[in-house]
């Protein structure tokens, strides 16, 4: 880093890389997967293929797993008093954490509430990350929720949020889902917002 | 005591099959769950509708189909976050009408 006289500059000096970016990081997935992701996100045919594939993969599994009553926990207090947690399945994680395996990963990552966009990275192969890397709120609306916290629309944000990657097997995902659900319910959260990609 | 959840859906059939308590559905491109980059009014509207869903969904298993276009939609600024938006209310009432139709 040569000159860093701006306010932001002083923060960047401590980062020991030569290619500094202010946005989240793009995990390398290879050009073929990148091309496929662009097809899925940016063309009409790709959208249809993506919808077809997610139905073909998810529906038979969900029919087996989603049996019994739909759970129902109504809000017990006004939104302005609620603690809110964000859960994303868009492959978002801390830059400093190991990336998700982009084709299939049943683990989860903790994203501390203080994390800034430039602390994050996205590892996912089933959507074009270009726009989400420009604006992380598209798949992880943390900045919008911080504004809502400051405006007292919601009470406060949870200490930790959670990220999942791409996973085709719902059954293999269940242990991680249970663990995240346990952590969320033990941390005094009132409302969980779930955001896909 | 459970935690209230409110989810965004990208594929409606999958959302219906997931049997989650509360979904709002947007037919937008993959990787754009809250819309276009930098469109803060759009993102706030989606969050407003998710919060309205959390606070006011009348029964479990509803998937509210939000009518917003992916691009070139005007999003009025949200004055009262405790009051659900017009688009959300009218889509939710369509579902309640279906409920009553079934009975």
Residue ranges of chain B whose CB lies within 8 Å of a chain A CB:
1-11, 13-14, 17-21, 29-38, 40, 43-44, 46-47, 50-51, 54-55, 59-61, 81-82
Dihedrals phi, psi of B23, to nearest 5 degrees:
-130, 140
Residue A51 has pLDDT above 50, yes or no: yes
Q: Is residue B1 part of a domain?
A: no
CB A124 within 8 A of CB A33: no
Q: What is the pLDDT of residue A18?
A: 34
- Number of structural domains (chain B) is 1
Pairing of strands A108-112, A160-164: antiparallel
Q: What is the pLDDT of residue A21?
A: 54
Angle between helices A142-150 and B40-56 (to 10 degrees): 70
Residue A177: strand, helix, or coil: helix
Of A166, A124, A135, A165, nearest to A37 by C-alpha is: A124
Stated pTM of the model: 0.90
The residue ranges of chain B whose pLDDT is under 50 are none
With cut-offs at 50, 70 and 90, classify the pLDDT of residue A66.
confident
Q: Is residue B40 part of a domain?
A: yes
Q: What is the pLDDT of residue B98?
A: 87
Q: What is the pLDDT of residue A12?
A: 36
Q: Pick the residue of B3, B10, B27 with the most A CBs within 10 A to test the interface with A by mutation.
A: B3
Q: What is the mean pLDDT of residues A71-96?
A: 97
Q: Is residue B88 part of a domain?
A: yes
Q: What is the pLDDT of residue A8?
A: 41
Sequence-distant (6+) residues with CB within 8 A of A179 are A108
Q: Is residue B87 part of a domain?
A: yes
Q: Is residue B14 part of a domain?
A: yes
Q: What is the pLDDT of residue A5?
A: 39
Percent of chain A past pLDDT 70, that is, above it, reads 89
* Residue found under tokens 């998937």: B63
Cα-only R_g, chain A: 18
Q: Is residue B77 part of a domain?
A: yes
Q: What is the pLDDT of residue B1?
A: 66
CB A123 within 8 A of CB A99: yes
Q: Is residue B67 part of a domain?
A: yes
Q: What is the mean pLDDT of residues A130-148?
A: 97
Q: Which of the pair, A181 or A10, is modelled with greater confidence?
A: A181
Q: Is residue B2 part of a domain?
A: no
Sequence-distant (6+) residues with CB within 8 A of A83 are A155, A156, A157, A158, A187, A188, A189, A190, A191
Q: Which of B2, B18, B34 has its CB closest to that of A141? A: B34
How far is B4 from A189, CA to CA, in rounded Å?
9
Q: What is the pLDDT of residue A101?
A: 96
From chain B, the residues in CB contact with A37 under 8 A are: 31
Q: Which residues span the domain enclosing B36? A: 7-102
Residue B86: strand, helix, or coil: helix
From chain B, the residues in CB contact with A78 under 8 A are: 82
């Amino acid at each position: 880093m040569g000159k860093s006289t701006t306010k932001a500059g002083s923060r960047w000096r401590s980062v020991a890389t030569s290619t500094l970016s202010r946005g989240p990081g793009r995990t390398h997935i290879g050009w073929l997967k990148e091309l496929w992701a662009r097809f899925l996100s940016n063309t009409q045919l790709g959208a249809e293929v993506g919808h077809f594939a997610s139905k073909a993969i998810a529906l038979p599994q969900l029919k087996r797993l989603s049996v019994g009553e739909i759970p129902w926990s109504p809000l017990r207090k006004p939104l302005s008093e609620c603690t809110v947690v964000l859960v994303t399945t868009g492959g978002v994680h801390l830059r400093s954490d190991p990336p998700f395996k982009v084709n299939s990963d049943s683990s989860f990552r903790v994203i501390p509430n203080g994390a800034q966009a430039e602390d994050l990275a996205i590892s996912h192969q089933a959507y074009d990350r270009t726009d989400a890397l420009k604006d992380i709120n598209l798949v992880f609306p943390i900045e919008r929720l911080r504004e809502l916290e400051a405006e007292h629309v919601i009470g406060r944000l949870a200490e930790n949020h959670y990220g999942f990657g791409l996973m085709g097997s719902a059954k293999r995902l269940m242990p991680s889902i249970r663990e995240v659900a346990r952590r969320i319910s033990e941390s005094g959260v009132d409302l969980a917002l779930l955001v896909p990609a | 005591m459970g935690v209230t959840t409110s989810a965004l859906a990208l594929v409606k059939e999958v959302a219906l099959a997931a049997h989650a308590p509360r979904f709002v559905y947007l037919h937008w491109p993959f990787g754009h769950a809250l819309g276009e980059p930098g469109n803060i009014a759009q993102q706030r509207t989606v969050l407003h509708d998710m919060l309205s869903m959390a606070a006011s969904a009348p029964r479990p298993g509803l998937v509210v189909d939000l009518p917003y276009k992916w691009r070139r939609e005007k999003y009025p600024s949200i004055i009262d976050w405790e009051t659900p938006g017009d688009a959300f209310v009218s889509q939710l009432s369509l579902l309640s009408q279906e409920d009553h139709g079934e009975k």
